[in-house]
Structures are given as structure tokens and as C-alpha cells.
Structure 1
Amino acid sequence: MVSTAMAAEVQRAETVPPGRRPARSLVPPVAAVLGGTLLIALHALVYSYWLVDDAAITFSYARNVADGLGPVFQPGAEPVEGYSNPAWLALLVIGKWLGLFDHGAIFGIPDYVLFPKGVALLCCVGILVAFYSAARVVSRHPAWVTFGAGALLAAVPSFVIWSFSGLENSLYGLAVAALACGLVRAVARDQTLAWKVAVTAGLLAALAALTRPDGLIYCAVYPLVVLLHFDRGAVLARVRAVGLSLAAFAVPVGAYFLWRKAEFGIWLANTAVSKRQGFPELAFFGRAGLLLAYAGALAVLTLALCVGIALTRSAVLRNAIVTLLVPLALAIVAYALLEPDWMGEYRFATPVWVLAAFVAAVSVGAVLEHAGVRGRIATVGTLVLVMIPAGDGFVAAAQKFRDNPSVPMCGVATRYGRAFNGYADVLGIREGTFVAPDMGGAGMTSRLALVDMVGLVDRRLGALWGQWDMPGIRDYIFDEVKPTFIHSHTVWSDHTGLLADPRMMRDYEVVYTTNYGPETLGRAGLDGDFVRKDAVQSPEKLQAVREYAVRKMRPAEHMSGLSPLGKCGETLSPGQLPWPATPN
């Protein structure tokens, strides 16, 4: 436990009478925060207008909630919790209410791009502000520590890509950073057991839990910090403080769980059900090693050595680093326990990068503060040498992702939303259903009733995916839904066996396929668009819709493929027709 004397040392500047206190310039902290944010923003520009399609699932829910239609994916649809980020959803709803989201273009940039990316940038500012607030109590050069942490975050493609993907990662990182840095300040000032600290820690853990499901793990941060800084003479006070923090966490989180049960009839989000997130296996913990390889083993080991050296310095610094290592360890555990994510670039590791960057910056700063001139030169030289291969790896990862980003929202809006609107128009279909595996952009643009093949926004299919019941999925789609249109491709065709099912050949006509002809309809792995036979009025209509696919859909799809980082119009709305994406 930090002694009262040590706490007094930390607070000495605050207890000096105002007339004798040296003026504190705002320039260094502002420059550090804005400089670090600028580096992050410059990296984010590499990915231009790109948003991942899963983000648009939350966009669709935000649109409908803001319009008073409830938590539904489409107007009139059954309420299903097809999102896993209620706090981020709430921000999008507020943005729509304020006219900043889902209304049109702002300065020529679609607000469905500008608003989530703008909020992400503000969250990055908040992360660096939290860093500075903690660095003030452990370093004589907090501005440099803050800027260094910001520069490290700006260098990590995984952090930047997912923070600016339209998903909740930036808010998640902010919640965890605020929690960790707030506890660093409290420990350094011997205020860990103060009721305000306990309640704030609980509420920030609740924010993390309501931003991502794995955020539930951060309710353990405050109790573990209290345990690590244990004082035998204050057992009752510690029990009281931990109970207060857990209560502050449980009230909002528990209220949301009760609302979920009342609204959707289940305790877990439908996304968790469909993804089959179960109890962890021991082998999952090996996934933590992937993060080490991504960041560069030599760089991580060198920074770990700096952490070890910093732990031998002052008690204030040692306690601060130990406090930071608690949420960092939990972040690594949470990443290891989650089912692997198909989107790539370590989407679930955002809190790991946030906390690791700050621990590294604080530790390197401490080493440099206590080293002589030669020691500083040696330390900086070593860090530069070990960072070169890590930097090469980051550059390669960023370039690879820029060239082939994960499922762009605009590509889905064009290919599945707008294209199938066009098919329905050509065939004269006023109302119809459409089964497909990518729902985000389609939800923003389709006028058809969507059925999510993957089960994220469909309760029945979500349960079937959770049981890995592929025959059940095929029976439900062919015998109960009987969709007007079906699209499937690659892995989803292979997993479900949908396009190899005899009912596909019996009930559906080919509208468009890639590198296949109608005669290969029964082959597994087939990519293509299909229409129910009883929805086609004549052979002429079938030929017309096939020509439309080649003449309108295919060029639009081609343009989207050429410009995966591009935008797709000022607005996204149901009923829109295909048109080429705007180059980035």
C-alpha cells in the first residue's frame, strides 16, 4: 500500500499555497494530446472511407431506434438483439437525433462515415487525456509519456483499423483507459478506498461491459487492485469499497440484462448465441502468443525489460505499473477466451494495445529519467533497433489491410442491398424476402425483408447456428421462410450446404453466378444470386433480370471491388438501386 507520506509527496504541488505555486502551462499537455491524436488520425486516413459491414448492423438498429420503431433491424421486423454494443448504439442514436448521423453529407463527406469516425477520434483524444492525467502522478515529464503512448497507438494497425471501422472499439478503449488511469491516480494519492473512486471504477467497468460483451471482465479490476494494495488494518473498509464498486457496476449492467430478457426473451445477445461462444478451453490461452508475434517479439521483450527496471524505482511508480498491469492482464485473458474472429487484424485486442502502450511509455520514461547521458543514448538506440522490425511488420499489415479490407460496408450495400432492389423492380416484385450472409449495408439499403443466413439478426437461425445444425438451417430456409431471393458465397455455401440442397434446384432459378452456369447449381461452394421460380412471371422476365445483373449489378460490383475504401453516396436508404461506388 502507498503510505501517507508517499501520497503527500504526490500531492505536494497541489498543497502549495496558490501565491507560491508555479504556473502550470497548458501547452505541453495540449500539444501531447493533440500531437498523439494527429498521428492516429494520419494513420486512419490510410483507410479512407472504409467501414466494416458489421458496423452497419448497428447503424440500422440506431436508425430504427431513433425513428421510434424499437430495437429492430428493419421496420416491422421481430425485435432481435443483433448488436452487441448497446453503449455505442446509444451514441449513434444520439447522433441521429442531433442530425449528425444518417441524414446526408457534411462538408461533402457522408455522415454515416464522418460521425462514427469523428466520435472515434474524440475517443482517442479522451484516451490520451486519461494517459496524461495518470502520467502526472508518476512522471516528471507527463507530456512526453502521453505523446509516446499516442505514437505507439498510432503505429499499431490493429488499434487504428478497428477504432475507425464504425464499430465500438474506440469507445471500448476509452472506457478501459479511463478505468485504469483513474485507479493509477487513486493509488498514487492513497485514495483507493474513497467512495467516489469505487463508484467511478464500477461505472467505468459497466460502460466497458455495455460496449462489448467481454467488457464484463473489467468488473474485476477494482477488487484486484484493492487486493494487491492490501493493508491488514483496513479489511472492513476494503470490503465496503469493493462492494460499493460492484454495486455501481451491477446496477446499470443488471438493468440492461433485465431489459434484454423482457424485450428479447433471452439473457444473452443473439450475436453471442449464433457465434457459439461457450466456456473457454485451455488451448485458447495460446492465442495470447499471437499478440506477441504481431507486436514483434523482440520489441515486446525489450519493453518488458524496461517495465522490469521501472518496477525497481520509486514506490509510486511501482504501484502505478502494478495497477496498470491488472487490467492489461485481464484484457489479454479476455482476448484469449473469445472465439477467433474472422475479420482479422486482432479486432478484439483494442484494450490490450491501449493499456500496453501506456505501460510501455511510462516504463521507458522512467528508465530515461533515472539514466545518465550514456544510459539514455543506449536505451534510445536499443529501442530504435528493436522497433525497426516491428515497424516493418506494422507497415506490411497496414498495406495488406488497405489493399484488401474486411468486408466493406459499401460493397455490401451495393451488391446485396441495391442490386436485389433492382432485381425486384425488374421482376415486378413489390414485397419479398431475401436470404444472404452479409446484412449491414443491405439493412441500410434493401427494401426487401431480410433474413440473415448467419443468424446475427435472426433469432431462429441464430439458435440453429449456435447448435451447428446445418440441416435445420436448410429446412428452416427452404420449408418455412421460402425466400424470394437467395444469395450465398464461398464459406457460407460450404458450411450450410444450402446451394447443394436438391430443393435449391427444384425451387429456384439462377439470376447470376460467378464462373458457373445454371447447370452447376447443385455444386457446393457455388457463388450466386437466385430467385424463387414462382416469383418469376415469365421466361422473358427471367431473361430480363439476368441481363440486368450483367448490365447494372456487375459493373457496380466491379467498381466497388476496385475501390474498397470508397464511399457509396451521400445517403443510404431502402429502395436505392446499383450505382458505382465513388473512388476514394
Structure 2
Amino acid sequence: MSLAAATERTAPRRTGAEGPAVNDTAAVAPTRPGATPRSARRNPAGVVLGVLALALPVLVYLSRLARLGHWLVDDALISFGYARTLSEGGGFAQQPGAAAVEGFSNPTWTLLLAGLRLLGVFDRGHRLAGVEDTVLVVRALAVVAFVLTLLAIRATARSVLGGPRRTATATLVAGLALALSPAYVIWTGSGLENPLYGLLAAALAALLGTARARGRLFALRTATLAGLLALGLAATRPDGLVFAAAHPLTLLVVAVGAAPRGRGRLRSALRRALPPGAFGVAAFALPAGALLLARHATFGLWVPNTAVAKSQGGLDLGVPARAAGLVSAAGLPLVLLAALSTAVLLVARTRAARPVTQSAATATAAAPLLVCAALGGAGFAVLRPDWMPEYRFATPATVLGSALLGVLAVGAGVAVASPVSGRESPAPRGARWPGRRGPATAVVLAVVAALLAGAAVADDARRLDAFARTPTISGCFVADRYGRLFDLYADRLGVRTGTLVVPDIGGVLLVSRLRVVDLAGLTDRVIARDRGRGDTAAVAEQVFGVVRPTFLHLHRPWDAGLRSDPRLRRDYRAIVPGQDYVRRDVASAAAVAALRPTAVRRVAALVAERRARPLSGCGPWVVDPPPAER
């Protein structure tokens, strides 16, 4: 018995577009997108369950999101800086007047933020109830994306499970798993592109699942929409490219399941899946190719500059280990719950006396979700390990894995409980849990599932609390420590215009009037090339021999090759020993000595404040003019 098999009714069957045996009622979908079946409209309990399935996860998500306070990760503020420059007519540059470098890997997110800034609602220095407009807008986008993601999960669950109560229950389970997931909450609230990325992945699974249930999977319209959604995913994050395979792979799985058994089964399936699959690939590849040419014409690279800096290459031996890391992202209790649900379904299937064609047809019901979830995991596994905690690259896998958990849990519940009343009829003979001990087994399984769910909630809360105590580098800390503080240095030393080389730049871009050079290389083409090659001597030459910055900040690991370079001592004076430097020909020894006590105190105060209040805000994100112009 498959996922859909556990929920099928004993009803007349017909031949459908996706296979030889399709149940008229097993995957009931409304004739109008978003419509509610009549049975649900007549059943108050069903309506309440449907509302609860959406409302409760949203409330839980809001409460978890509030746990992050004003925190935004500094990497997100790099996109904010590009959005600001773009909205002001400065092109794709980190600051006005800077060279065009693709120092971001999320074009659709950056364009969305630039559009919101043009509308006057984002990054305008406003505050509401003490909260910066940047924080308010990205949190609002996260909530909207979460609601839309839930709706997509509901559509996917309906395509697999059928009836409204099963759909609502699966949506509730998936929604709660997602709303409680630290990996999802943290990174969708971080200011990065994760909420949009997860939404597009859920939308693709919903599109393919609904199309399969309605007999439209092989239609050219479905191929076009799937190709465009895959394009959106690839333009939101480079690893989203893997979703270009979702439509053709789903076609192949469904076609194989529907083809008659025999020697020519695979050939027949390929012949059927190839035309719409090729059309869908073309719908993705043609605009993707145009965007690739535009990237090369604008930036001179075929990949984002960030990929060059991180030397992101092809597959390596670490891919299987990183794929296994998804267990940690989901949390062991939820993985065990999914495994338990799968085991229940497999046992029920082995005891089910069902025609082969019926098994083949229902086996394809979950194919779109399974394919998309597998691709989401693959997209995470192919990337090099990320130094930030809580799996920020696993958002599609988290979203689709939560949807799969909801479907598995409800399918297993139906297989064990085999309800005998209500509008959703019981599973057919052979699909119920076998033996006279079925009720006792159901109770034991329910208790185990409840214990695992409780353990998952506790584990998720622990992980989120741990992150909130020591969050990944805050954009506010970067703005205060490397942006406003270096502007203070410039004011005290009489520097009206200057250059700052620093490895953390997001907050700096939004508050500093100094020209910023990214020591990590994300927004600097030359340093990115040298970082990608691992050539620290070339990085030092670029910094000391070419850029010759007015100000320089060093910390590990980005100081490799720079501290040992004799030009650091020869050409620079230390403002904060071992950290902050100014070029000797800019400031006298007496001026630096007079500034040093203030600088050391300010650095210590900023570090202490951030440790005490790691989630606090830092005022409006605006660039203050030099003192003479204030």
C-alpha cells in the first residue's frame, strides 16, 4: 500500500490521464483552485479543522519569529546595500560609484527589496514602535511567505491524500513541524532570501502534485509553469538549479508507474514523458540562458562573484556526509517519526491484497512531492559546508520534508485507524492494519508518535534558544563596530573621504561614508579570485600594493597572509592593536595615540553590549555626512 492507497475509498474507477487506474475519489481536488469541497462546507468540524490547520502554525511561527528580536544576519545586509544602490539608479553595485560586481547570490530577492525601497516602505530610515523598517519589512515578508507556503503544502497534501479532513490534518502536521523548525525560523527571519526560496520550492511541488491529480501533468501548460518556477528557484539561489529536473523526473516516474509491465515498459514511459519534459526544460533553459548571457555581459562572469570567492565547484566526496546532515537539520525525533510512519505504510502494503495496476497508480500519487524533496536534499548536499549554524541552505529540504512528514503521518494514521464513519470512507479491505490486535497496535503507535512529537518540540525549542543566546554575526554589530566606529576614526583624524578594507561588510555598506573593500572577496572581483585560489599572498598584494586602504580591520581567518606582511608595520599605525589600523601618511603618531584610548573603550563597550543584548537593534540604517556638513 502506498501513501494514497491508505486513503482510498472503495469507489468506481476510471481510466485517467496519468495511469490506467485512477480512483475518482482518492485524490479529490476542487474544480476551482482554492475551492472547498461541498462535503467540507457542510461539515462544521471539517471547516474548523481546515482553519486550524492554517491558523495554528501561523501563530506558532509568529511566536518563534519574535524570539529573534531585531536580529538580522550581516550577509543579508549586503543584499540590502545592493538594493539601495539599485533603487537609487547606481546599478548593481555595493555602494554608489563602486564597480558592478555580483556580490550577491539572490537576484530575485535583491530585486524585490529594491522594488520595496522604491515604494518607500523599505530601508528609508523609518522606525515603528522602536523597530527599524528593514526588520519590519523582512519579517512581514517572512510571514507572508510562510502563509503562502502552507497553502502550497495544503495543495500538495490534497493531491496525495484526497479528502478535506486528511488534507487539513496533514497541513497541520507539516505546518507545525515547519513553524517549530529552528532551521526554517532562523533563516526565514534573517533577512536572507530563504522565505522566498522555500515558497517557490513548495509551489513547484504543489503545481506538479495538483497537475498529476487532475490529469494535467503531461500538459504543455504545466511544463511551462514548472520551468518558470524552476527558473525562479535558480534565480533566488544558485543551488536552486537542481529543481530544473523536478518536472522531467516526475513525468518519468509517473509514466513508468502507468506503463504496462513488460520488457518495453521503460521505453514506453520515456516515449510518453519525453515531449512534455523537453518542453518544460526549454521553458527553463531559454530564459535561464538569456539571464546567463546578461550576467556575463554585466559582470564578466558566468557565475556569481560569491561562488568564485567560495571556490564553489563540482561534486566532492563530502556530498554523502552533507546529505546525511539533513537528519540533524530536521532533528532526530522528527526523522524517527517519519521512519515510523513509513514503516507502518510498508507493513500495511505487504498485507494489502490489491491489483497490481491499482498499486502502480496510487504509487505515483506522492511522486511529485518525493521528487521535489529529494532534489531539495540534493541541492543542500552539493554545496560546500557552511560555517553558519542551523543549516541556512536547507530551506527547500526543510519545507518539502515537513510536507512529506505530514503526508506520511496521516497516511499511516489512516492505515492503522481505518475510520468507519464520516464522509471520508474507510480504507478498503486489505488496507487496514492486519490482525485482531490492530486497536492495541494503534494505541501503542499513537503513544510512540506522541512521545516523538514532544521530543521534537523540546529539541527545536532548545536549538532556537541556543541560537538566540549567541546568534550568527549580527548586522547591527557590524554596523556599529566596523561602520560607525571607523567613521568616528575618520572624523577624529580629519579624513573626509577614504577607503576601508574589512571582512564583514553588510552593516558597513548601510551606515558608512567610507568606500568599502570586501576582504572576504564576496563583492570584490580580484580578492574573490585570489581567495578562490587560496592565494593569500596575492590577497596581501592586492590590499597593500593596489588598494592601499586608508583604514584596515583584521580578524581571523581573513587575516592570513596580511599580518605577516612587512607592509602592515611599515605603512600602518595601530588604532586598536591587532585589529584596527590607519595608514601612516594619513594620521600622525600623536593623533593615533590620542585616539587609541577612546577606540579601545568603544570596542570593548560594543562587544560587551552585543554579548549582553545579542538580538537588539541599532537605530536607523543611514549614512551620516562628515561633521563639516552636518
Q: Could you give the per-residue CA deviations for residues 285-336 of structure 1, whole angstroms, max 9, x where no partner exists?
A: 1122222244344541341241354464885663232321112112222211
Partner of 1:78: 99
Partner of 2:173: 148
The answer on whether the counterparts of 2:575 and 2:581 sit within 8 Å (CA) in structure 1 is yes
The answer on whether the counterparts of 1:446 and 1:576 sit within 8 Å (CA) in structure 2 is no
Deviation, structure 1 residue 557 = 4.1
Q: Could you give the per-residue CA deviations for residues 239-297 of structure 1, whole angstroms, max 9, x where no partner exists?
A: 22112211221233222211110100110100000000112112321122222244344
Question: In structure 2, how many angstroms separate the alpha carbons of the residues matched to 1:257 and 1:392?
Answer: 45
Deviation, structure 1 residue 390 = 3.7
Deviation, structure 1 residue 418 = 0.4
Partner of 2:427: none
Matches within 5 A, 1:321-360: 321-360=366-405
Question: In structure 1, how many angstroms separate the alpha carbons of the residues matched to 2:31 and 2:404?
Answer: 28
Choose which of 486, 492, 499 in structure 1 pairs with 2:563.
499
The answer as to 2:315 corresponding to 1:265 is no
* Amino acid corresponding to residue 445 of structure 1 in structure 2: V
The answer on whether the counterparts of 1:368 and 1:375 sit within 8 Å (CA) in structure 2 is no
Choose which of 199, 202, 217 in structure 1 pairs with 2:224.
199
Q: What percent of counterpart residues are identical? A: 39
* Amino acid corresponding to residue 138 of structure 2 in structure 1: P
DSSP 3-state at the match of 2:41: coil
The answer on whether the counterparts of 1:7 and 1:188 sit within 8 Å (CA) in structure 2 is no
Q: Which moved more, 1:3-12 or 1:292-301?
A: 3-12
The answer on whether the counterparts of 1:416 and 1:442 sit within 8 Å (CA) in structure 2 is yes
Matches within 5 A, 1:563-578: 563-575=613-625
Partner of 2:52: 31
Compute the RMSD of aligned alpha carbons: 2.4
* Amino acid corresponding to residue 93 of structure 2 in structure 1: V
* Amino acid corresponding to residue 619 of structure 2 in structure 1: G
Partner of 1:46: 67
The answer on whether the counterparts of 1:285 and 1:333 sit within 8 Å (CA) in structure 2 is no
* Amino acid corresponding to residue 580 of structure 2 in structure 1: D
| Higher RCO structure, 1 or 2 (CA under 8 Å, sep 6+) | 2
* Amino acid corresponding to residue 546 of structure 1 in structure 2: R
Q: Could you give the per-residue CA deviations for residues 179-208 of structure 1, whole angstroms, max 9, x where no partner exists?
A: 012111111222110122111111111111
* Amino acid corresponding to residue 584 of structure 2 in structure 1: K
Deviation, structure 1 residue 135 = 2.0
Partner of 2:10: none
Deviation, structure 1 residue 21 = 4.8
Deviation, structure 1 residue 491 = 2.0
Partner of 1:522: none
The answer on whether the counterparts of 2:309 and 2:531 sit within 8 Å (CA) in structure 1 is yes
Q: Which moved more, 1:217-226 or 1:299-308?
A: 299-308
Matches within 5 A, 1:26-175: 28-103=49-124, 104-139=126-161, 140=163, 141=165, 142-175=167-200
Specify whether residues 86 and 96 from structure 1 end up closer, same or farther in structure 2 by C-alpha distance, changes over 3 A only: same
* Amino acid corresponding to residue 286 of structure 2 in structure 1: V
Partner of 1:446: 512
Partner of 1:252: 287
The answer on whether the counterparts of 2:249 and 2:371 sit within 8 Å (CA) in structure 1 is yes
Specify whether residues 13 and 479 from structure 1 end up closer, same or farther in structure 2 by C-alpha distance, changes over 3 A only: closer
Specify whether residues 14 and 343 from structure 1 end up closer, same or farther in structure 2 by C-alpha distance, changes over 3 A only: closer
Matches within 5 A, 1:423-438: 423-438=489-504
Q: Could you give the per-residue CA deviations for residues 505-536 of structure 1, whole angstroms, max 9, x where no partner exists?
A: 111111013xxxxxxxxxxxx4x101111000
The answer on whether the counterparts of 2:499 and 2:514 sit within 8 Å (CA) in structure 1 is yes
Partner of 1:409: 475
Specify whether residues 15 and 92 from structure 1 end up closer, same or farther in structure 2 by C-alpha distance, changes over 3 A only: closer
Deviation, structure 1 residue 559 = 2.0
The answer on whether the counterparts of 1:418 and 1:445 sit within 8 Å (CA) in structure 2 is yes
The answer as to 2:415 corresponding to 1:370 is yes
Alignment: residue pair count: 559
The answer as to 2:398 corresponding to 1:382 is no
Question: In structure 2, how many angstroms separate the alpha carbons of the residues matched to 1:118 and 1:10?
Answer: 37
The answer on whether the counterparts of 1:331 and 1:349 sit within 8 Å (CA) in structure 2 is yes
The answer as to 2:273 corresponding to 1:228 is no
Specify whether residues 406 and 5 from structure 1 end up closer, same or farther in structure 2 by C-alpha distance, changes over 3 A only: same
* Amino acid corresponding to residue 576 of structure 2 in structure 1: Y
The answer on whether the counterparts of 1:135 and 1:362 sit within 8 Å (CA) in structure 2 is yes
Deviation, structure 1 residue 551 = 4.8
Question: In structure 2, how many angstroms separate the alpha carbons of the residues matched to 1:13 and 1:174?
Answer: 21
Matches within 5 A, 1:394-405: 394-405=460-471
* Amino acid corresponding to residue 206 of structure 2 in structure 1: C
TM-score, reference length from structure 1: 0.90
Q: Could you give the per-residue CA deviations for residues 158-190 of structure 1, whole angstroms, max 9, x where no partner exists?
A: 111111100011111111111012111111222
The answer on whether the counterparts of 1:307 and 1:359 sit within 8 Å (CA) in structure 2 is no
The answer on whether the counterparts of 2:329 and 2:391 sit within 8 Å (CA) in structure 1 is no
The answer on whether the counterparts of 1:423 and 1:548 sit within 8 Å (CA) in structure 2 is no
Partner of 1:531: 582
Deviation, structure 1 residue 572 = 3.3
Question: In structure 2, how many angstroms separate the alpha carbons of the residues matched to 1:299 and 1:112?
Answer: 34
DSSP 3-state at the match of 1:511: strand
Question: In structure 2, how many angstroms separate the alpha carbons of the residues matched to 1:566 and 1:281?
Answer: 40
5+ long unaligned stretches in structure 1: 514-525, 578-584
Question: In structure 2, how many angstroms separate the alpha carbons of the residues matched to 1:108 and 1:485?
Answer: 32
5+ long unaligned stretches in structure 2: 1-16, 260-264, 353-357, 418-438
DSSP 3-state at the match of 1:328: helix
DSSP 3-state at the match of 2:557: helix
The answer as to 2:538 corresponding to 1:472 is yes
Deviation, structure 1 residue 568 = 0.8
* Amino acid corresponding to residue 504 of structure 1 in structure 2: L
The answer on whether the counterparts of 2:336 and 2:452 sit within 8 Å (CA) in structure 1 is no
Partner of 1:190: 215
The answer on whether the counterparts of 2:149 and 2:198 sit within 8 Å (CA) in structure 1 is yes
Q: Could you give the per-residue CA deviations for residues 18-37 of structure 1, whole angstroms, max 9, x where no partner exists?
A: 9x955637654343222212
Question: In structure 2, how many angstroms separate the alpha carbons of the residues matched to 1:222 and 1:503?
Answer: 56
Deviation, structure 1 residue 556 = 3.6
* Amino acid corresponding to residue 424 of structure 1 in structure 2: A
Choose which of 541, 545, 550 in structure 2 pairs with 1:484.
550
Question: In structure 2, how many angstroms separate the alpha carbons of the residues matched to 1:381 and 1:15?
Answer: 38
Q: Which moved more, 1:86-95 or 1:414-423?
A: 86-95
The answer on whether the counterparts of 1:509 and 1:532 sit within 8 Å (CA) in structure 2 is yes
